[in-house]
Amino acid sequence: MGKEKPGFLSPKAIGNRIKAKGLQKLRWYCQMCQKQCRDENGFKCHTTSETHQRQLLLVAEDTDQFIDTFSKEFADNFVELLSRRFGTKRVSANNIYQEYISDRDHLHMNSTQWETLTDFVKWLGREGHCNVDHTEKGWFITWIDRDPETIRRQEQLAAKRKMDMDDEERMSRFIQKQVERVQEQKKHSAEEEVEHTELKRQSEEEKVVFKLPASLSGGGKPREPTDEPSLPPENPLTSTRQKPLTAESSGKARSKPKEAAAAQKRKSALDEIMEFEEQSKEKMNRKSYWLTEGIVVKIITRKLGEKYYKKKAVVREVVEQFGAVVKMLDTDHKLKVDQTHLETVIPAHGKAVRIVNGAYRGCDAVLLELDEKNFCCKVRVERGPVKGRVIDRVAYEDLSKVAVPT
């Protein structure tokens, strides 16, 4: 009789399972057949087997298809591990790779289009999957979460934090601003009161007369006559002499600078309110995505082919906020492109533009001036609740040319 096969709980079977558990040497692994051999003899037997030869013929027919498939599977599994394990935290790429290869059934990098981990990390940065930076300790990556649900949740949390601001803190800020405003107003009024003016007469022959009340002129007693001739009574219709300065007229003269200062204060307070509203709108409307339908964009990637590089197109449809279906202007070709491969287009003076990001996001405007030194534009809003407002500094990337309807 033949030799009986050892049972599942026999020492030999248990030893074989212990040897097969965990990672083994990469040079004895066949990615095409997805088979791990224990030693060089086993790997040699596998490469000479009929199954391996048949799989080798299949791969030889279309090598690029298999490499692309393996590359996509490796990238998807790597990014999934990064997003699930670390989220949006900054982490070393080597640490993530060590965790990835700790899985016994992982897909090996030597079967993909990337030869080293550095090449793969650079590819993640170019494709916009992660933020990549290189330091003395190696490559570090940060996953970019572009899930619409996550973005919406973050916006809701930001709005909730803004609404949950303590009322006491708001009141203290308001009181502090009022105190500073009153102190500044007092300072300006004190400077205006300190100013002195010289007493001038219109003619040298004119005499200045000071009239004192009876209580100050000797208790109502008649004054002694003097040798100086008294001036005749003054006719208000024909007199050219300067009228004496009374308390009422001096009060009105002093009140005019105060009123002008108060008007200036009111204007500055209004400017502060408008500036605060601008900042609030900027924080609320500043997003990480800017694509919108009907604008003209330029393709800035060579991966779509040289015939599309630096060519202009019109956004026909926005896909998941960060992608768009565009139609080329010189041809009727339609492409699906990510926003990282597009940039805005600045038209000539007097042309229509649309503000795609920032405080005035979504408003249609007209381009007035270009500030090439500061990379910004001056526009006038043509539609929306702030129609007619002129905005001085709008960055190039925050506006784009509007496509002419056909």
HSE-up of 194 (CA within 13 Å, CB side)?
Answer: 6
How does pLDDT run across 131-170, given as a tens digit for each residue? 899 888 889 999 888 777 777 887 888 777 777 666 667 7
> Taking the alpha carbons of 219, 221, 227, 232 in that order, is the dihedral positive or negative?
positive
> Is the predicted pLDDT of residue 322 greater than 70, yes or no?
yes
Determine the average pLDDT of the residues in 52-72: 76
- Domains (ranges, CATH) in the chain? 21-143 (1.10.10.2030), 288-345 (2.30.30.140), 347-406 (2.30.30.30)
pLDDT at residue 158, rounded to an integer: 77
Across-strand partners of 381? 365
User: What are the start-end ranges of the H helices in 89-243?
Assistant: 93-101, 117-127, 148-163, 167-194
Pairing of strands 296-299, 312-319: antiparallel
pLDDT at residue 232, rounded to an integer: 47
Across-strand partners of 48? none
Determine the average pLDDT of the residues in 21-28: 61
Measured N-to-C along each axis, helices 63-85 and 117-127 cross at an angle, to the nearest 10 degrees, of 80
* pTM assigned to the model: 0.37
How does pLDDT run across 190-225, given as a tens digit for each residue? 766 555 566 566 666 666 665 655 554 444 444 444
Backbone angles phi, psi at 346, to 5 degrees: -100, 120
Q: Give residue 102's Cα distance to chain centre.
A: 38
User: What are the start-end ranges of the H helices in 86-136?
Assistant: 93-101, 117-127
How does pLDDT run across 96-119, given as a tens digit for each residue? 888 887 776 677 777 788 888 898
Look-up of token digits 């449809």: 317
